Each structure stands twice: as C-alpha cells, then as structure tokens.
Structure 1
Amino acid sequence: MNILVCIKQVPDMESRFKVNGTGDWYDEADLAYMMNEYDEYAVEQAVQLKEQLGNQPEITVLSIGADRVGEALKKALAMGCDKAVQVQDNDSARKDPWQIANIIAAYAGDKNFDVIFTGMQSQDRGSAQVGVTVAELLGHNCASTLVGFEYADGVVTAKRELEGGVKSVVKVPVPALVTCQLGLNVPRYPTLPNIMKAKKKELQLVPVASLLKEEAATGTEKLYPPVKSGGGIVLEGDLGDVADRLLGILKEKTTVMK
C-alpha cells in the first residue's frame, strides 16, 4: 500500500496578527509557525494505518510553501512518515484552493497512492475545499470530516461528522481520499529518537512551476481585521427592575436595527 499525507504549515493561532501593507493577507513577519492542527490528525491516522498493516506501507508527506515548511515536514517524519516532499513556493499563501489542489493532484497523479489523508481544513483560510477537490481531480473516492477510520480488505470504513452532531458511516473502496476532523485520534508526540531518525529521512524538493498549470479561479481583494466589539452591560439590582431594564434595552436595539 502507498499512502500520501498532505499537510500545511500555518501561523500559531496565539500570534498577534496584522494586515500586511498590500491589504490582502496578514503580515508574516515575527509570526511563529506550526503544523495545521487538522493535519496532525491526518498524519497520526496514516501512521496508525501503517502500523496496522505491519509497517509495510510507505507514507509520503507533502507540503507546499517556502523553506520554513521544512519544520512541519520534519515533525511529520518524526511522527512516523517515511519520506517528505516540499513543493517549493514562496507565494503559496496567495494561491487559491483550486491551484493548491491542482499542485497536489499533479504530484500524486502517477504515484498510485491507495489512500490520501488531508486535514478537513486549514486554520488560516478554512476553505475545506482542497482535499475534496484533489479527490475529484484524481478520480478517487472521497469521504470528508472523518471522526472514525477503519481499513480492511481494500475498503475504508469512515465515520463522518455532519452538522448538528449527527454521525454517518460510509464504506469507501481504495483508492480513496479522506479529510480528517478534530477528535479522529490523539496525535502522538515525536520522541527524541524519532526526531533524530527524521533528520536522516529523505526530503525531496520539487519546484512549484513543474506542477502548477492552472490559473487562479478566485483571489483575495482585501483583508480586514475583526471589528472590535464594545463592552458588555452588567445589570444589577432587584430582579423585577433588572427585567424591566433588560426589556427596554432589547426594544431599543430592535428599533435601531429596523
């Protein structure tokens, strides 16, 4: 079996974000970066599948971006992936999901991957479009938002999380692509020995120009920081008086909204 995991390096969500000078993305200076949280579940599930099958499958982990994505790739290697591929692209943040999916599909097209794992979405853009678009481009079966995964006899049994907390179970023959939701598993921490082993594993560099043949379908015109909300109102006093004041405030705001 041949397995591919697609990961993205994103800014640490605890970072202080500022809109950049051109106004179409955030300023990347002084930001700390990490592997996208959803992708950690994808890596872990791929490694668990490899362990289930007696460590026979080979896991390739792929990421698109500047040289700094190497840190995320090294973490995936330390978690148990076998080799890494960095698609070199200093301008990956400005590519839309259609272009990103085409890059991945162009790389994977002749590699005969049986199962492809991706995160459900990225923490920065949150489009949730890349994984399912890759499946469509490759002609693979697809199941999204997985919170449960089983594999046997060439079939993936996927438990999916739907809106409203509803769960559905589908069976997907390989080749298949699945997108991983939070709670699918518990990602392992790379141990020091595995971190040292990761340094000796293969890292392939692929220029993005050799894979990308598609123009952008969409673009970001302007990025705006969230509007700062005002402070809350604390109502104190007798319960009856508080209720009357609250009713008055609600009536006033309803009138303003009309």
Structure 2
Amino acid sequence: MKILVCIKQVPDMESRFKVNGEGTWYEDSDLAWRMNEYDEYAVEQAVQLQSQGGGAEITVLSIGPDRVKEAMKKALAMGADKGLHIQDDSSHKRDPWEIATMIANFARNEGFDLIFTGMQSQDRGSAQVGILVAQMLGIPAVSTVVSFHYDGGTVTVKRELEGGTKAVVKVPTPALFTCQLGLNTPRYPTLPNIMKAKKKELTSIPAAQVLSEPAAVVSTRALFVPQKKGGARVLEGEVSVLVTQLVGILKEKTGLVK
C-alpha cells in the first residue's frame, strides 16, 4: 500500500506578524515556523496505519522554499519513509487551484492508495486544496475526518459536521481524506527517530516540473491590518440605572431608539 501525506509549513501563530513590502502577504524573515497543526494529524494517521502491517510506504510532500524541509524532516522523524519537496519560492502567491494542480500532477501516476491532507492550513484557511486534488485525480474525497478505520480496500470514517454532529462515511480506495483536530494524538519524534530521519530520502524537484504557467487564477491585491476603531464602554451600577444609560447611548449612536 502506498500513502501520500501532504503537509505545509506555516508560521507559529504566536508570532508577531507584519505586512511585507509588497503589501500582499506577511513578512516572513523574522517568524518561527512549524508544521501546520492539521497536517500533524494527517501524518500521525498514516503512521498508525503503517504500524498495522501490510508493508505501507509513506511519502510526505510539501511545497515551498528550502525552509519547508524542516517540517518535512519532522514528518520523517514521526515515521514517514521518504519526502518529496516541490521547490517553489512563490508558493505563498499561489491560489488553492495551483497548489492542488502541483500535488495532483505528481500523484497522478504514482499509484497512491490513500492520500491524507490537513483539513485546512492555519495561515490561509481555504480548506480547498485536498478536495481539489481528489477532484483532479478522479477519486473520492472525505473532509473533516475525526475517526478512521481501514479494512482491506475500504475505509470507514466519521466526519465532523456543524453543530457537533458526526456522519459515518464508507469509501473504496484510492481515496483522499482531510484530517480534523481530534482524529488522533500526534506523536513527538524521539531522538533516535530524528537521527534516522536524517538518512531518509528527501528529494527536491522544481515547481515547473509539476506546474506549467500561466499565472494564478486568483491573486492577492492587498493585505493590511484593520484599523482600530475605538474601544468598549463599560457600564456599571444598578440595573435600573444601566438600562437608562444604555437607552441613552443607543439614542445617541443610532437614532433608532425613541
């Protein structure tokens, strides 16, 4: 069985963000970087499946500049067998369609039985890439997976729906799954596995090998921090007094209260 796990390197969400000089994305020079949280669940699920036996081989894929290899090395230390890095310094400018096209063009002739992605990335949050990849490959896709069971050529999963409800879905392989928080508990790479990961295959190919231009379907025209528009006003005192104050404020600010 062959498994592909697609991961993304994203800034640590505790970082202090600044808009870059072009005004179209954030400045990335002084940020701390990590593997996208949702993708950690995808890697863990693949490794758990591999541990069940059957000779599964896990390939981890990531698109971006050279620094994304650090996130890939973590995936290799968690248990993935090899990595495919699509070298692309302009990955942050690409829309979900382009990113999905690169992944699908690589995966199309590789014969993967299962493809795992995170539900969404923490920086863009489009939640589109995984589903687009499945569409391009012509295979089933199940999103927001919170429970996973593989039995031969069939996978049974639970999907998280709005309102906290769950839906049980059964699909044949090959298939793609986007992983939601709570699917599992991602492992911490041990020191021996970190050392082993250094010897695992990590191949880089140029983006042009899996994506032919023209340019993006969608591009970012401007990115900016919203301006502050004043603060809150705290009312204190007895309820009867507060009601009078509140009505007065509503009359003053909106003119809707008579």
Q: For the superposition of Structure 1 and Structure 2, which TM-score range results when normalised by the shorter chain?
A: over 0.9
**d(CA) in 2 for partners of 1:136, 1:255:** 52
The residue type paired with residue 138 of structure 1 is L
Please state how far the C-alpha of 1:147 moved relative to its aligned partner.
1.1
Quick one: distance in 2 between partners of 1:19 and 1:43? 31
CA distance in 2, matches of 1:219, 1:176: 30
- Quote the offset at 1:21 in angstroms: 1.1
Alignment of 1:70-219 (within 5 A): 70-215=69-214, 216-219=216-219
1:55/1:47 CA distance change after superposition, 3 Å? farther
Q: Which residue of 2 aligns with 1:238?
A: 238
Deviates more, 1:242-251 or 1:59-68: 242-251
* 1:197 alignment partner, SS class: helix
Letter in 2 for 1:156: V
Contact 1:102 1:214 in 2 (8 A): no
- Which residue number corresponds to residue 9 of structure 2? 9
Q: Which amino acid aligns with 1:68?
A: R
Change (3 A) 1:55 1:79: farther
Residues 88 and 208 of structure 1 are in contact (CA less than 8 Å); yes or no, is this contact kept in structure 2?
yes
Q: Distance in 2 between matches of 1:144 and 1:168?
A: 11
The alpha-carbon deviation at position 226 of structure 1 amounts to 3.0
**Cα offset for 1:13?**
0.7
CA displacement at 1:97 relative to structure 2: 0.5
Kept after mapping to 2: 8 A contact 1:77/1:83: yes
Describe the superposition over 1:78-119 as per-residue Cα deviations: whole angstroms up to 9, x where unpaired: 111000111011111011110000000011011000000000
RMSD: 1.4
Cα deviation 1:21-66 (Å, max 9, x = unaligned): 11111111111111001101110111111112x1610000000011
How far apart, in 2, do the equivalents of 1:187 and 1:238 lie?
51
- What is the DSSP-based 3-state SS (H/G/I as helix, E as strand, rest coil) of the residue aligned with 2:5? strand
Aligned length: 255
- Cα offset for 1:255? 3.4
1:147–1:161 CA contact under 8 A, matched in 2:
yes
What whole-Å deviation, never above 9, does each CA across 1:195-226 have from its counterpart, x for those lacking one? 11111111011111111025321111111213
Q: Distance in 1 between matches of 2:193 and 2:174?
A: 29
Q: Conserved in 2, the CA contact under 8 Å of 1:79 and 1:194?
A: yes
Identity across the alignment (%): 66
Quick one: distance in 1 between partners of 2:184 and 2:213?
A: 35
Write the letter of the residue equivalent to 1:107: F
Provide the residue aligned with 1:34 in structure 2.
Answer: 34
Contact 1:5/1:42 (8 A) holds in 2:
yes
Report the Cα distance in structure 1 between the residues aligned to 2:191 and 2:203, rounded to whole angstroms.
Answer: 23
Offset of 1:182 from its aligned partner?
Answer: 1.1
Gaps of 5+ in 2: none
TM-score normalised by length of structure 2 = 0.95
SS at match of 1:137: helix
In the alignment, is residue 46 of structure 1 matched against residue 46 of structure 2?
A: yes
Could you tell me how far apart the structure 1 residues matched to 2:250 and 2:171 are? 51
Distance in 1 separating the partners of 2:47 and 2:249: 56
**Matched residues in 2 for 1:28 and 1:236: separation?**
44
Give, in whole Å, the separation in 1 of the partners of 2:148 and 2:168. 10
SS of the counterpart of 2:223? coil
Q: Which runs of 4+ in 1 moved over 3 A?
A: 250-256
> What SS is found at the alignment partner of 1:34?
strand
1:145–1:179: 8 Å Cα contact kept in structure 2?
A: yes
